[in-house]
A and B are shown apart, each in its own frame.
Chain A
Amino acid sequence: MWKWFHKLASPPHFYRLAATLIPWLAVPGLMLIAYGAYAGLFVAPEDYQQGDAFRIIYVHVPSAYLSMMAYMFMAFGGAIGLIWRMKLAHAVGAAAAPIGAAFTFLALVTGSIWGRPMWGTWWEWGDPRLTSELILLFLYFGYMALRSSIDDTAKADKASAVLALVGVVNVVIVHYSVEWWSSLHQGQTLFKEGGPAMDASMLYPLLAMILGFTLVFGALLARRIRTEVLYRERRTRWVREMILSPEGGK
């Protein structure tokens, strides 16, 4: 186990592993998304309350879920990097941040588009999920701003890892405090807890979308980590040998 961990952590090994991994993640992921999009948009029946407007959950829910997941990658990457001084883990954090921010943004935009027919407004402060998501976006911005303002990579890695870890604690507190706050103001949520169960024809496309998005996220992450590793290891022998080799860095 430990040996495997160390091998995984070696940059050249990971660089090659990621290359073989990407198609295995991306192709099934895109297929699932294609199925989910078709089944969700054309096959699934209309919602009896929301009509066609509900169909945006097929993008909104996976994005919102991945926005949290990417943050977890950042925080765990940072923690592993700090504790075991593993550089690859820091690269994972650095690679995950922009993807996470993009998904957070997507979740906000789709949530707001969904809110337009539901609430009659583009933005409803009373919705705790949207508000938490917005704060999450700011956390991503802070993380990326800190990273880009420190020139030394090793230092940027460690400093942003501390920030990501503090942020994780914060995400939990934000969640509960925003819930409390919106309960004061009779906030309206899109999901009602304990509501009627979703029909299978609506649920399966959603599950397919969530899984598909996750796989594509994995592929994007692997792709970005590869770039990150290559940049960080640009002075090393293995990178030079790889680039000068006949295959030219494949």
Chain B
Amino acid sequence: MVAGLVAVTRRDLLLAWKRPGDVLNPLFFFAMVCTLFPLAVGPSPEQLTFSGPGVLWVAALLAALLSLNSLFLGDHEDGSLDQLLVSAQPLPMLVLGKTLAHWLTSGLPLVLISPVLALTYRMPGNVMGVLMLTLLLGTICLSLLGSIGAALTVGLNRGTALLGLLILPLAMPVLLLGANTVSLAAGNEMYTTGVWALAAYAVAAISLAPYATAAALRISNE
């Protein structure tokens, strides 16, 4: 069972290694969106501290969305999606492997650079920890949710717009939980509820989303 997961994860990481640009683009995008906000709303420190958690979270959501479009696209174009669908290994595990590789190359780097950007928003150290924790859990959820959307739109050539329309309403609870948890932490209030809720969401997504994605892939590859 796990053989398929490991094999696909390794292959996709190897592919990402050979094309580092695909990994870096969403990161640059993330950084740029975070730069846009202070330019638009002004550099006043109070405002930045206040809007920081929300801005960072929205930027992370958009960056994750941007990278999702390519999740199954390459496989669809070169025919290896067909091979995955007729594989001797269970498809949900292969899908989970692909999503894991995708998260390791898009979600995790985002979590890792988020403190740098949070610094420019004058976020204190302990809040930064909460930000990273929520982003860690949140990007897992987003990658998994996104894999469903990416699977549904894989053969369609409608680009990111349709994917956004499908995924963003689904991702809203994640954004809401994540950003508000960080805000609570910034206001020195109890924030653990949000963290637990995100963790529960992530567990549910890990156990359910691969099945939905597998079903969606079989349908859209017909």
Q: Which residues of A contact B (CB under 8 A)?
A: 82, 135, 138-139, 141-142, 145-146, 149-150, 152, 155, 158-159, 162-163, 165-167, 169-170, 173-174, 177-178, 180-181, 184
Contact = CB atoms under 8 A, between A and B. Distances in A.
A170 B170 contact: yes
B219 A170 contact: no
A23 B166 CA distance: 36
A159 B165 CA distance: 15
Contacts of A159: 152, 216, 219-220
A167 B215 CA distance: 15
A150 B156 contact: yes
Interface in B99-135: none
B162 interface: yes
Contacts of A138: 165, 168-169
A170 B169 contact: yes
B45 interface: no
A163 B152 contact: yes
A180 B162 CA distance: 29
Contacts of A149: 153, 156, 158, 162
Contacts of A174: 169, 172-173
Contacts of A141: 165
B158 A162 contact: no
Across the A-B interface, the 3 shortest Cβ-Cβ residue pairs: A138-B169, A177-B173, A158-B219
Nearest to B167: A142
B13 interface: no
Contact of B166 (A163, A165, A178): A163
Interface of B: 148, 152-153, 156, 158, 162, 165-166, 168-170, 172-173, 176-177, 180, 184, 193-194, 197, 201, 208, 212, 215-216, 219-220, 222
B163 to A, nearest CB: 10
14 contacts: A142-B169, A145-B162, A146-B153, A149-B162, A155-B222, A159-B216, A162-B148, A163-B152, A166-B148, A170-B170, A177-B197, A180-B177, A181-B180, A184-B184
Contacts of A142: 165-166, 169
A170 B173 contact: yes
Chain A binding surface SS class: helix
A168 to B, nearest CB: 11
A152 B176 CA distance: 36
Given A155-B220, A159-B152, A181 B176 contact: yes
A76 B177 CA distance: 28
Contacts of B165: 138, 141-142, 145
B168 to A, nearest CB: 7
Contacts of B194: 180
A170 B166 CA distance: 12
A139 B169 contact: yes
Contact of B152 (A139, A162, A180): A162
Contacts of A150: 156, 220
B220 to A, nearest CB: 6
A146 B148 CA distance: 13
A143 to B, nearest CB: 8
Given A177-B173, A177-B176, A177-B197, 12 more contacts: A145-B165, A146-B152, A162-B148, A162-B216, A162-B219, A165-B212, A166-B170, A167-B170, A170-B169, A170-B170, A177-B177, A178-B173
A82 B215 CA distance: 10
A166 B166 CA distance: 11
A166 B208 CA distance: 10
Nearest to B156: A149
A166 B184 contact: no
A152 B172 CA distance: 30
